[in-house]
Structure 1
Amino acid sequence: MLLVTGATGFVGSAVVAHLHEQGYAVRAMVRDPSRADVLPDGVERVAADLADADSLARAMDGCEGVFHLAAAVGMPGPEARELNVGGTRRVVEAVRRAGVRRLVHTSTSAAICVPDPDGPGCLVAEDAAGGTALTDTYSATKAEAETVVLDAVAAGGLDAVVATVVNVYGPSPRGPLSYNQLFAAAARGEVEGIVDTRVGWTLAQDVAAGELLAFTDGEVGRRYVLCGQIASFPEVLDTYCELAGSPHRVRALPQGSELPPGAPPFADRSVVYGHLGGYRVRDDGARALGAAPRGIAEGLALTADFMRA
């Protein structure tokens, strides 16, 4: 049995669907039952809360693995820290109490984005020492959460790996959330300009496949970066518009630019990464495991078809 936290989220629901399709017995941790309609038939539901260590341990009872994806995005600082850092600490404690064999902790490129020693911009690498150049609440608390997991591994007694995801998009049981919202806004002509900075992009299904590889074949205490392709925000949005049959295109703004108030969801990430000069990725470990995430041409074509349907 495999437990997934954050099972009804954009990425979490994709992980649940993939594990289920691969024949695993899956238990989805659900805090809001009204969101459980995205879960496949045959997936067990269990009520638990990251704030309640006892409920977490009960949810993990009999599980061989735990995929921890629950996280706070867009919450105020104290709430985000309580969920992302405190919640992860309680997950680690519950994994130990329940005797779970392996924890796959889902992190983000924003948690390990540091100045690139070999050139301009930043580097996202599997062998990063930890910490991030980003100062927003989400990035900072996810960096702290990753430290909680890796420190527990180093202290002994915890088998855990870290799956680090870059900007996620594409078909997901949760629907047109995440960067899909930005793509749709661009296709409607609602994105006048976006900062011209290069970052990583990965399909939600490819994240799910990479997380399973990390669980089955990953090395204890290792970080595995799941990245399909590095591309600029304007390149991605214009490609999506073309594939979606939209006549609209976006204006590329210089790195360091700001966006006007009211910009569509996730457009602000181009500003955040633009101030850092974008980033490059080292993901050799994930690819050695067999991860083969698709590039943006194929991924955006799948996304356009999904969004059209």
Structure 2
Amino acid sequence: MILGIDIGNYSVKTSTGVNFKSLVSTEENLLGSKIKIEFDNKTFYIGEGNRDTELDKASKESFLPLLYSAIALSSPAQYNKVVVGLPINQYKSRKAEIENKISKESNKKIILNDKERTLTITEFKVYPEGVGAYQSLDSEEDMIIIDIGGRTTDIAYIFNGELKTTSTVNVGTLNIYKNIADQLNSKFSIDIDVEKAEKIIKQGYLSIDNKTVDISFVSSVLRENFMKIKADLDFKFSAHTEKLMLTGGGAALFHKAFVNRYEDISIMQNPVLANVRGFKKVGELLWV
């Protein structure tokens, strides 16, 4: 089976629609864990615990547990061909390292939620994020892809079917949610985490002791981060003469801000899964 997999800083997505948080713990939740995977004499609980703050995906200790969990949850087959994404700024320097790492870790006897299986990665390819989202489109148009992820925003300009210019901005949803959580905790003497901050942003309000409090500062935080992306986009790309396409988990967060400033801007259908759909297409071109 051919799988596209995005091991993001916020969540893991696959081309079959599997989506779970990029959290790994070696301690089980007292209320029970939904995803437990065992291999190499170790037990991991997926979707729980603390986030791996390492930006370099090749160095993440959580990489293998998340990868094999994604494969096991997405495919009933033993033998799988996998395309995994890397941020554009890590692609050239880390591509070979990850591919070599997986070549040595390509066969695992696992136990997923108490069911034994053997998983074998027969082919493995690393592909740049953002460009993967472009591959998911049935289009050969020139365009600038803006892929807003958990820790970074990747920008890629595709011209005449070739990748011409790229950039990475240190703005992502996790950074924003963490900033807002810290300010809320300081301002109201509460203790909320990133996931709670995300929920507050989506619902648009916060109640404390059954009273709605002022969180208007959130708009300023969002604007400040948007302007960082906009500055990079306007300085390094022909943003006002090319078609812009938003994708990634943070696309919806900034869609309105982009629409207010750029005429030719669209958001991809199901932007969260755009990269993995494209990764699968890359795999099909390589191996079918």
| TM-score in same-fold range (> 0.5) | no
More helix per residue: 1
Larger radius of gyration: 2
More strand per residue: 2
Using the size of structure 1 for normalisation, the TM-score is: 0.31
Query: Which has the higher relative contact order, 1 or 2, with Cα contacts under 8 A spaced 6 or more apart?
Result: 2
